[in-house]
Chains A and B, each alone.
Chain A
Amino acid sequence: MDKTLDVTSFTLNGSDVSVAPAPGERLSHSLRERLDARDVKVGCNAGDCGACTVLVDGAPVCACLMPTAQAQGTVVETQAGLVERDDIAQRLADSFHAHQAAQCGICTPGMMTAAVALLRDTRSPDHAQVEDALGGVLCRCTGYRKIIDAVVAAGHGPITAEAVSGDVGTSLTRLDGRPKVDGTERFGDDVAGQDTLVLRVIRSPHHHAEFTIGDLDAFQRAHPWVALVLTASDIPGRNRFGVIPGFIDQPVFAEGLARHRGEAIAAIVGPAEEISRFDPEDFPIEWTPLPPMLTPEEAMVPGAAQLHDGHADNVLCQGFVKHGDAETALARADLSVEATFETAYVEHGYIEPEAGFAEVVDGRLHVHGCTQAAVMDQETLATILALPLEDIRVVPTATGGGFGSKIDVSFQPFVALAALRLNAPVRITYSRQESMASTTKRHPSSITLRIGATRDGAISGMRFDGIFNTGAYASWGPTVANRVPIHASGPYRVRDYVATARGIYTNGTPSGAFRGFGVPQSAVAQEVLFDELAAKLDQDPLEFRIANALENGMPTVCSQVFEQGVGITACLEALRPAWTELNRDCDAFNAQHQARKRGVGVAGGWYGCGNTSLPNPSTIKAGVRADGTVVLHQGAADIGQGSNTVIPQIFARALGADVLRIAIVDGDTDRTPDAGKTSASRQTFVTGNAARLAGEALRRQILSHVNAADDSRIDLGDGVHVIDGAATHRLRLDHLEPDADGYVMRVLESYDPPTKPLDENGQGDPYAQYGYAAHLAMVEVDLKLGTTRVLHMVAAHDVGCAINPLLVEGQIHGGVAQGLGMALMEEYLPGRTENLHDYLIPTFGDVPPIDTIIIEEPDAHGPYGAKGLGEHALIPTAPAILNAITRATGARLRRLPVTPARLRAAIRQAGHD
């Protein structure tokens, strides 16, 4: 007999379970929403990312591609269940934690389940076996190498974590790391209740179109389950959001005109089951498509449609820096190079799509979800919803990667408005396609650069002109336009310099913040031309850079002078041994091989930490409870980079106490003061300084309470003890009156980096500190196919002071992987690569071993000398790889990504057959 299955029974993590899935329901959905196995993560719903990997009868499969009905009678295992019950999984959890193989943690469930299957088959796998077995899971944070190390180590027996004090300078394992490896971490989609109403956004399928919304009453009558329909007219406050005052131009819901594909037009709310069966084409919208302008070229044509009032020629804004006299110096130069470079839209590719939920609690709005900037979210919601700030609470969940895009609001206004209107919780999870089509990207760029030099190898004049496609709305476009001219010289001594960067509105997806804010693009042009200049001069590329490197006491192109902490020379010099050795290896290989050639490339980079000439304070609060517990309120959003660990380490050092004995309150706008956004490599520097000041202030209070000497030790645990020489004082706190938070002592400290405004020529002190970096890449190119394998990377980074060296390595590895992707494969095309199989990010096997060299040239302002690092890790990677390819093949590369097709064409142009 044919049987229509309504109940599916299987064993889940050792327990017998039964569910009644909808026809064709995905196993991932049943596990998460019916069986509460929210350790199963959904990153793409298409088998492209592997985050949802579970074991079915021991075999790893993507739960998002398996009908629940096929699980009938099987044994299903997930990360959380495995870690609870399986020796191998427990060993893996320890190993992932010890190696910091989980950064944001969103891919970790998939990685670990795949690794369990491998280790059950192969007791002690080697690196290649790990890559093959885990190759179906994508990670955007770690660069994979720490994951490989963690699995290999787990194959060699129990993991004994190295005991460290946790002090500044030690590789303390992540304080928030355990939940990431045991399956209990909760991300944006993991916090709403199972029966929460679901919101679905109706989006523009056109790049550029006028529209009218049809009869909504009739629509609701035809769809009686629809609890709420929202359009622009429902916005109670201002239907605009953005991130920079004066550039707040993006509507929550478009008003009659869609300026990009994926723009939100309306939203409907209903029960999950009905929403999942709803076809958005049934929503009544009448479209009048308009010709799209997808590139700045099209948008800058005289007579082109103007996307925003007050922005003639679709120019969003322009940044400008002028130092000395570039034209005269270029005319005087003995030789020069000039070229135009094109870089593509780059997608952030975090594995966690935007997700969260909102609810009304005691008359206040609570918004839970992934974010990089809780307080900015709160402020944005207040203007959109016309609510006082104090009526809004933003509670960040764990954030499964951000890299800049989760600074802007995305889902928050929709669910917030819906929850307020319905007075009920409302949730949303972006689909992968929706995430890619609607959230910000790295700006595509077209850069024309000319650099001159004297015959003895000194730079003589540099002229930079960059056009950045900012897409349909401003987002962080002004920041890119302003940052790029300041950074486009690279960390070198350039006396005569002029640089212009313009952001141009188009009908593309909005471009915004992405690790480096335009600097990775400008570094490609500058560092590739440096190699061509060195070649013309017949100089070694590394030595050419060292000879021109910026040093202490030398003015930057903004005339800013740092008396200490300029670490680029140290970074470049640290590469010398590897440069010599790898070049020798390549020469030997190339003498033996014709069809494949190897080359080594070098590039440098710098990045100013914090906002450009604008205030960006962070505030840290801490207190002592009557029982002696020290509590740190840490609001810096940890999106995987590690601020939940680094900030406490700094605070503990300043307090003079053991970091492991400090209680931590995580980000929550009701409980943690504003630590600013997680961007611009500012958290370790800026929030770190606030934490240092808070720790120092609390220490003073504690010591003065018992009149102890300045060099006393503070011992926490079972009260606060002050050890002053031979004497130990136990603080008597029970007689003190606790404040509203329950603290008998409290501190609140802020830090804002000292900067000076830029004048009309971009002269001033834009940043209080820069971080510096230099990378080496060794590549092998298949001349006939144009494919590139990066074989080895060496990354030297001046971080001032490595607060946590293992976290520093993690940032560098992840940045290198993203730089590699940008160089070789990543190209977002609106409407064409809106998924993770047409848009490619590096997989296991694409990221080579990375040697990291940590340089510590202390910064005058950083906490204990520390500098920011997040963006720096990415900046030199792509140009180092391009330079390596050119040195291997002679091919001139002008357009990113260097796909096999483009490289093969360039190789043929260079004269190979």
Chain B
Amino acid sequence: MSYHRPDRIEDAFAALAADASVIAGGTDWYPARGDGPLPDNVLDITRLPGFSGIARDGQGWRIGATTTWTAIARADLPACFDGLRAAAREVGSLQIQNAGTIGGNLCNASPAADGVPALLTLDAQVRLVSPRGPRDMPLADFILGPRRTARSGDELLQSLWIPDPGAGTGAFQKLGSRKYLVISIAMVASLVRVEAGQMRDVRVAVGACGPVATRLRDLETSLEGRAVDDAAGIVAAAPLGTLSPISDVRGSAEYRLDAVRNMILRALVTSCGGSHG
């Protein structure tokens, strides 16, 4: 029975080798236990060096895995991060945002994880560390399915790296049945740079409409270079075949597909500097 809260990565690896359960902000870790007993062997990664904070890093930005949603929401970041910051303010509640971490959101791998769509539009990469050394991979390859990631048992998610996204503007749309403290029925993040009335570098990602959040590459291609005013027609006609929502207590699959089309358009309108009425 032990609770490890090391400040050296070697000690963390040792605890991990002894099958410790990894905790950071705890906001998913505790609810996942339900009424069952807590694990006897726990590794708390919130004091590990290099696991926290937001900083420029080469041609991009590095966000430590234990950076809280509040820190992200309050960070001085360019407009391309607006979608991520908006998502940060929609995670659970203020209490959850003050404790919950971006890395935990990814490792928990909920299909409704609020942070994932915006990070997908930002082409985020994750960095895993282990005694074997660091390993980088695109976020899209990291999340494999509901509650499943590419993290091996001896690895820890240390940080995310986001290549400089340029001059675009991010946006985020979350659909829920009430105002606060709500698990998403569907989510959309977008990132668009508008140049002379045309959409450039269009990126759109959808969450809670399949086992993992996903970029809509075909739609992005059909929007690329088109006039902002054409977006409505293109989105209305888009096949959205890559989405595979389920029906659950929050909404039917049919509803999710129907609603998400409107949410995509609204996110794009925000990214393009407009408002929707």
B33-53 to A contact mask, C-beta < 8 Å, 1/0: 011111111101010000000
**B3 close to A840 (CB less than 8 A):** no
**B94 close to A60 (CB less than 8 A):** yes
Most chain A CB within 10 A, of B11, B38, B185, B277, is at B38
Q: Report the bound CA distance from A26 to B31 in whole Å.
A: 12
Residue of A nearest to B23 (CB): A67
Most chain B CB within 10 A, of A431, A840, A845, is at A840
B210 within 8 A of A: no
**A47 close to B27 (CB less than 8 A):** yes
Residue of B nearest to A28 (CB): B30
A905 within 8 A of B: yes
B98 within 8 A of A: yes
B84-103 to A contact mask, C-beta < 8 Å, 1/0: 00000000111110110000
- Report how many A-B pairs have Cβ atoms within 8 Å: 185
**B30 close to A595 (CB less than 8 A):** no
**B34 close to A433 (CB less than 8 A):** yes
**A67 close to B179 (CB less than 8 A):** no
**A843 close to B178 (CB less than 8 A):** yes
Query: What's the least CB distance linking B240 to chain A, in Å?
Result: 15
A614 within 8 A of B: no
**A2 close to B15 (CB less than 8 A):** yes
**A276 close to B37 (CB less than 8 A):** yes
**B99 close to A62 (CB less than 8 A):** yes
Most chain A CB within 10 A, of B93, B251, B255, is at B93
Most chain B CB within 10 A, of A593, A786, A838, is at A786
**Chain A interface, >50% SS class:** loop
Residues of chain A within 8 A (CB-CB) of B30 are 26, 45-47, 64-65
Q: Report the bound CA distance from A512 to B259 in whole Å.
A: 37
Residues of chain A within 8 A (CB-CB) of B46 are 70
A329-341 to B contact mask, C-beta < 8 Å, 1/0: 0000000000000
Residues of chain A within 8 A (CB-CB) of B249 are 827, 829, 832-833, 838
A670 within 8 A of B: no
Residues of chain B within 8 A (CB-CB) of A825 are 177-178
B225 within 8 A of A: no
**A904 close to B259 (CB less than 8 A):** yes
Whether A135 contacts B251 in the complex (CB less than 8 A), given A2-B4, A69-B44, A596-B277, comes out as no
B132 within 8 A of A: no
Query: What's the least CB distance linking A101 to chain B, in Å?
Result: 18
Q: Report the bound CA distance from A45 to B262 in whole Å.
A: 36
Q: Report the bound CA distance from A59 to B38 in whole Å.
A: 26
A901-913 to B contact mask, C-beta < 8 Å, 1/0: 1001100000000
Q: Report the bound CA distance from A415 to B26 in whole Å.
A: 32
- Which residues of A in the span 606-636 have a Cβ within 8 Å of any Cβ on B? none
B170-201 to A contact mask, C-beta < 8 Å, 1/0: 00000101111111010000000000000000
Whether A70 contacts B44 in the complex (CB less than 8 A), given A47-B31, A785-B175, comes out as yes
**A23 close to B14 (CB less than 8 A):** no
A567 within 8 A of B: no
B8 within 8 A of A: yes
B1-17 to A contact mask, C-beta < 8 Å, 1/0: 11111101001001100
B70 within 8 A of A: yes
A846 within 8 A of B: yes
**B2 close to A47 (CB less than 8 A):** no
A22 within 8 A of B: yes
Q: Report the bound CA distance from A137 to B180 in whole Å.
A: 9
B76 within 8 A of A: no
A408-451 to B contact mask, C-beta < 8 Å, 1/0: 00000000000000000000000101100000000000000000
A163 within 8 A of B: no
Residues of chain B within 8 A (CB-CB) of A786 are 255, 259
Number of chain B residues whose Cβ lies closer than 8 Å to a Cβ of chain A: 58
**B178 close to A60 (CB less than 8 A):** no
**B179 close to A2 (CB less than 8 A):** no
Partner of B177, one of A53, A136, A595, A824: A824
Query: What's the least CB distance linking A642 to chain B, in Å?
Result: 27
Residues of chain A within 8 A (CB-CB) of B262 are 784-785
Residue of A nearest to B92 (CB): A47
Residue of B nearest to A282 (CB): B37
Residue of B nearest to A827 (CB): B249
- Which residues of B in the span 37-80 have a Cβ within 8 Å of any Cβ on A? 37-42, 44, 46, 70
Q: Report the bound CA distance from A449 to B39 in whole Å.
A: 54
A862 within 8 A of B: no
B107 within 8 A of A: no
**B3 close to A69 (CB less than 8 A):** yes
B222 within 8 A of A: no
A48 within 8 A of B: yes
**A62 close to B255 (CB less than 8 A):** no
**A901 close to B255 (CB less than 8 A):** yes
Residue of B nearest to A596 (CB): B277
**A279 close to B37 (CB less than 8 A):** yes
Residues of chain A within 8 A (CB-CB) of B177 are 787, 824-825, 840, 899-900
- Which residues of A in the span 60-75 have a Cβ within 8 Å of any Cβ on B? 60-62, 64-67, 69-70, 72
Query: What's the least CB distance linking A60 to chain B, in Å?
Result: 5
Whether A62 contacts B95 in the complex (CB less than 8 A), given A4-B2, A596-B277, A904-B258, comes out as yes
**B3 close to A136 (CB less than 8 A):** no
A853-888 to B contact mask, C-beta < 8 Å, 1/0: 000000000000000000000000000000000000
Partner of A2, one of B11, B42, B181, B276: B11
A1-37 to B contact mask, C-beta < 8 Å, 1/0: 1111100000000000000011111100000000000
Most chain B CB within 10 A, of A26, A66, A67, A132, is at A67
**B70 close to A59 (CB less than 8 A):** yes
- Which residues of A in the span 816-838 have a Cβ within 8 Å of any Cβ on B? 824-825, 827, 829, 832-833, 835, 837-838
- Which residues of B in the span 191-245 have a Cβ within 8 Å of any Cβ on A? none
A367 within 8 A of B: no
B263 within 8 A of A: yes
Residues of chain B within 8 A (CB-CB) of A846 are 178-179
**B26 close to A279 (CB less than 8 A):** no
Residues of chain A within 8 A (CB-CB) of B3 are 4-5, 21, 23-24, 67, 69
**A2 close to B99 (CB less than 8 A):** no
Residues of chain A within 8 A (CB-CB) of B263 are 785
Query: What's the least CB distance linking B85 to chain A, in Å?
Result: 15
Partner of B35, one of A24, A47, A72, A431: A431
Query: What's the least CB distance linking A282 to chain B, in Å?
Result: 10
Q: Report the bound CA distance from A280 to B36 in whole Å.
A: 8
Q: Report the bound CA distance from A883 to B111 in whole Å.
A: 35
Residue of A nearest to B8 (CB): A2
Q: Report the bound CA distance from A684 to B15 in whole Å.
A: 61
Between-chain CB contacts (< 8 Å), 18 pairs: A4-B4, A45-B31, A60-B95, A65-B26, A69-B44, A70-B5, A131-B179, A131-B180, A136-B95, A433-B35, A784-B262, A785-B262, A900-B177, A900-B259, A901-B185, A904-B255, A904-B258, A904-B259
Q: A61-B98, A785-B259, A844-B180 are in contact. List 12 more A-B contacts (CB 8 A).
A: A4-B2, A61-B95, A64-B30, A66-B26, A70-B44, A114-B94, A136-B93, A434-B35, A787-B177, A824-B177, A843-B182, A901-B251
Nearest first, the 6 closest Cβ-Cβ pairs linking A and B are A136-B93, A845-B179, A2-B11, A135-B180, A901-B255, A901-B251
B residues near A, CB below 8 A?
Answer: 1-6, 8, 11, 14-15, 21, 23, 25-27, 29-31, 34-42, 44, 46, 70, 92-96, 98-99, 175, 177-183, 185, 249-252, 254-255, 258-259, 262-263, 276-277
A residues near B, CB below 8 A?
Answer: 1-5, 21-26, 45-48, 50, 53, 56, 59-62, 64-67, 69-70, 72, 114, 131-133, 135-138, 276-280, 431, 433-434, 593, 595-596, 784-787, 824-825, 827, 829, 832-833, 835, 837-838, 840, 842-846, 899-901, 904-905
